[in-house]
C-alpha cells in the first residue's frame, strides 16, 4: 500500500472548521496535510446561512456564547485579511438581526444585560422603517444591531485559497480508519493508501462519531438535516436578517434571499423534500409578501453535526496521544469557527488557550 511523507499535523475534514483549523496550525509554522472526502467546503459549511450569531443566543450555554463572542470580534479582520490575500471576498456584512418572537423578550433582555450585548426593543413603527416589506402582527421586535453575516461558500473558497500555499490539500480521499498503536496515533488509512502522522485533528462534522467509534468511544454527534430555499430577489428589497419561529431570512448583497432552515432527524440522507420547500416558501412569503413575485432559484439540504446543548467537542481524544477533535458545532460552526480553530491550535501546540478548555473536552458533561 503506498505511503506519503509524514506531516507535522493531519487535519481530517475540509469544512469551515477543518479549513480554519488547518489555517491556524499552518500560520503557526506547522506542516499540515488536510484530507477531505469530497471537495472542501461542500457539506454543512456550504449549505448553511452564514448568520454570525447563534439563533436565539440566550438559549445557549455559556460555552457556546464564549466561542461565538470571540469569533464575532475576529470575523471583520479575518474577512479583510482573506480578501487581501486571495482576492475572494467572503462578503462580511453587519446586517443587524431582527427577532420577532415576543414571548422571549424578557429572557433575551436579561441575557443581553448580563453579557453586555447591545439589544434594543423596536416599536412597530421602527420595524416598518427598517423593513418596509415586512408583514407581521408582532408589535415589538428585538434588534441586534451588531450581528453580521458572511457568504459561506465564498468564505470556504477564500480559506482554501489562503492555506493552499501553506498546506497539502488532498480532496476526494475518504479516511476509512484511524491508526493507533500503543496508545499513540500513527496515521490514517484512506481509500488510496496510508498517510502517516503523529498528530491528527478530526474535523469531520457529522461524520466524526462514526470515524472515532472504531477506537472504542465516540462523541455524541449525529447528522441533523437542514433544508433551505433561495429567492432570486433584487438588492434592497429586504435589508436585514430576520428571525421568527425558528426560521430565518437572509438578504445577500446581490439581492438573493435565503430562507431556512428545517431541523430533521434523517440520518445521512441529504435529499430535499417537497414538504420542506412548501413550508419554507409559505413562511417566507407570509413575512415578506414581495417574495410571492420572486422566483425560487434553488433548494438544497445539508447535514449539521448535532451535539448535546450544541456544545462542540474541542480537545484531545482520551487514550490516543496525538489525536484531537474539533467537531459537533451543530448550527453554529460558522459563528464559532474562528474561536474553535484557535482554541484547538492552542491546545495542540501547548499555547495559552484563548478560553478555558474544560467545557469542550470530550468527557465533559453536556446537557
Q: Is residue 79 part of a domain?
A: no
Chain segment 240-249, per-residue pLDDT in tens: 999 999 999 9
Q: Pick the closest to residue 285 from 253, 256, 249 (CA basis).
A: 249
In this prediction, residue 253 has a pLDDT band, given cuts at 50, 70 and 90, of very high
Residue 364 CA, chain-centre distance (Å), reads 21
22's grid cell: 488547518
Residues 212 and 301 in one domain: no
pLDDT of residue 366: 85
Q: Is residue 214 part of a domain?
A: yes
Mean pLDDT of the 42-67 span: 92
> Do 100 and 246 form a contact (C-beta atoms < 8 A)?
no
306: pLDDT strictly greater than 90:
yes
Q: Is residue 102 part of a domain?
A: yes
In this prediction, residue 299 has a pLDDT band, given cuts at 50, 70 and 90, of very high
Percent of the chain with pLDDT over 90: 92
53: pLDDT strictly greater than 80:
yes
The residue out of 286, 306, 326 marking a domain boundary is 306
In this prediction, residue 43 has a pLDDT band, given cuts at 50, 70 and 90, of confident
Q: Is residue 1 part of a domain?
A: no
| HEC per residue, the chain | CCECCCECEEEECCCHHHHHHHHHHHHCCCCEEEECCCCCCCCHHHHCCCECCCCCHHHCCHHHHHHHHHHHHHHHHHHHHHHHHHCCCCCCECCCEEECCHHHHHHHHHHHHHHCCCCEEECHHHHHHHCCCCCCCCCCEEEECCCCECCHHHHHHHHHHHHCCCEEEECCCCEEEEEEECCEEEEEEECCCEEEECCEEECCHHHHHHHHHCCCCCCCCEEEEEEEEEECCCCCCCCCEEEECCEEEEECCCCCEEEECCCECCCCCCCCCHHHHHHHHHHHHHHCHHHHHCCEEEEEEEEEEECHHHCCEEEECCCCECEEEEECCCCCHHHHHHHHHHHHHHHHHCCCCCCCCHHHCCCCCCC
Check residues 192 and 82 and name the one with the higher pLDDT.
82
Mean pLDDT of the 256-280 span: 95
367: pLDDT strictly greater than 80:
no
Chain segment 120-168, per-residue pLDDT in tens: 999 999 999 999 999 999 999 999 999 999 999 999 999 999 999 999 9
pLDDT of residue 46: 80
Residues 247 and 318 in one domain: no
Residue 49 CA, chain-centre distance (Å), reads 9
Q: Angle of helix 333-349 relative to helix 16-27, nearest 10 degrees?
A: 40
Q: Angle of helix 16-27 relative to helix 152-163, nearest 10 degrees?
A: 30
The residue out of 266, 287, 306 marking a domain boundary is 306
Q: Pick the closest to residue 288 from 53, 98, 119, 108 (CA basis).
A: 98
Residues 119 and 226 in one domain: yes
Residues 19 and 162 in one domain: yes
From residue 170, give the alpha-carbon distance in Å to each of 30, 108, 110, 173.
17, 44, 47, 6
- The CA distance from 240 to 96, in Å, is 6
Q: Is residue 268 part of a domain?
A: yes
The residue out of 281, 306, 331 marking a domain boundary is 306
- The CA distance from 349 to 270, in Å, is 36
Residues 263 and 178 in one domain: no
Do you know the residue count of the chain?
Answer: 367
Q: Is residue 70 part of a domain?
A: no
Percent of the chain with pLDDT over 70: 98
2: pLDDT strictly greater than 70:
no
Please, what is the average pLDDT of the chain?
A: 94
Residues 117 and 169 in one domain: no
Residues 245 and 298 in one domain: yes
In this prediction, residue 4 has a pLDDT band, given cuts at 50, 70 and 90, of very low
CATH number assigned to the domain comprising residue 300: 3.30.9.10
Q: Pick the closest to residue 142 from 100, 96, 95 (CA basis).
A: 100
pLDDT of residue 7: 57
Residues 139 and 235 in one domain: yes
Chain segment 192-239, per-residue pLDDT in tens: 999 999 999 999 999 999 999 989 888 999 999 999 999 999 999 999
CATH number assigned to the domain comprising residue 325: 3.50.50.60
> Do 31 and 299 form a contact (C-beta atoms < 8 A)?
no
Residue 10: strand pairing partners: 33, 200
- The CA distance from 75 to 96, in Å, is 15
Q: Is residue 164 part of a domain?
A: yes
Q: Pick the closest to residue 321 from 221, 209, 178, 220 (CA basis).
A: 178
- The CA distance from 227 to 264, in Å, is 9
pLDDT of residue 3: 38
- The CA distance from 132 to 127, in Å, is 8
- Work out whether strand 175-181 and strand 200-202 pair parallel, antiparallel, or are unpaired: unpaired
1: pLDDT strictly greater than 50:
no
Q: Is residue 83 part of a domain?
A: no
Number of structural domains in the chain: 2
- pTM for this predicted structure: 0.95
Chain segment 288-298, per-residue pLDDT in tens: 999 999 999 99
Residues 172 and 216 in one domain: yes
Residues 330 and 298 in one domain: no
Domain that includes residue 273, residue range: 97-145+222-306
Residues 205 and 245 in one domain: no
Residues 279 and 250 in one domain: yes
Amino acid at each position: 500500500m503506498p505511503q506519503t511523507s509524514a506531516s507535522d499535523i493531519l487535519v481530517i475534514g475540509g469544512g469551515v472548521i477543518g479549513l480554519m483549523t488547518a489555517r491556524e496550525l499552518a500560520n503557526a509554522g506547522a506542516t499540515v496535510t488536510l484530507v477531505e472526502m469530497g471537495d472542501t467546503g461542500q457539506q454543512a459549511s456550504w449549505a448553511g446561512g452564514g448568520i454570525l450569531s447563534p439563533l436565539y443566543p440566550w438559549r445557549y450555554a455559556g460555552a457556546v456564547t464564549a466561542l461565538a463572542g470571540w469569533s464575532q470580534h475576529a470575523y471583520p479582520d479575518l474577512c479583510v485579511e482573506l480578501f487581501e490575500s486571495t482576492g475572494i471576498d467572503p462578503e462580511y456584512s453587519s446586517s443587524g438581526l431582527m427577532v420577532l418572537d415576543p414571548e422571549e423578550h424578557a429572557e433575551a433582555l436579561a441575557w443581553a444585560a448580563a453579557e453586555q450585548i447591545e439589544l434594543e426593543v423596536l416599536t412597530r413603527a421602527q420595524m416598518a422603517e427598517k423593513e418596509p416589506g415586512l408583514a407581521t402582527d408582532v408589535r415589538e421586535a428585538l434588534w441586534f444591531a451588531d450581528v453580521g453575516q458572511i457568504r459561506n461558500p465564498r468564505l470556504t473558497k477564500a480559506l482554501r485559497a489562503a492555506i493552499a500555499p501553506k498546506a497539502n490539500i488532498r480532496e476526494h480521499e475518504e479516511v476509512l480508519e484511524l491508526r493507533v498503536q500503543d496508545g499513540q496515533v500513527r496515521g490514517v488509512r484512506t481509500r488510496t493508501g496510508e498517510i502517516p502522522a503523529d498528530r491528527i485533528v478530526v474535523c469531520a462534522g457529522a461524520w466524526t462519531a462514526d470515524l472515532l467509534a472504531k477506537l472504542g468511544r465516540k462523541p455524541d454527534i449525529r447528522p441533523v438535516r437542514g433544508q433551505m430555499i433561495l429567492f432570486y430577489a433584487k438588492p434592497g428589497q429586504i435589508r436585514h436578517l430576520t428571525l421568527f419561529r425558528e426560521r430565518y431570512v437572509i438578504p445577500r448583497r446581490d439581492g438573493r434571499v435565503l430562507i431556512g432552515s428545517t431541523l430533521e432527524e434523517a440520518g445521512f440522507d441529504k435529499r430535499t423534500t417537497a414538504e420542506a420547500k412548501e413550508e419554507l416558501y409559505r413562511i417566507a412569503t407570509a413575512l415578506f409578501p414581495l417574495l410571492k413575485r420572486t422566483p425560487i432559484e434553488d433548494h438544497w439540504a445539508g447535514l449539521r453535526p448535532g451535539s448535546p446543548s450544541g456544545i462542540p467537542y474541542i480537545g484531545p481524544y482520551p487514550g490516543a496521544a496525538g489525536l484531537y477533535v474539533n467537531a459537533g458545532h451543530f448550527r453554529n460552526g460558522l459563528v464559532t469557527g474562528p474561536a474553535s480553530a484557535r482554541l484547538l491550535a492552542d491546545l495542540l501546540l501547548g499555547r495559552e488557550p484563548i478560553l478555558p478548555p474544560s467545557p469542550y473536552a470530550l468527557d465533559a458533561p453536556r446537557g
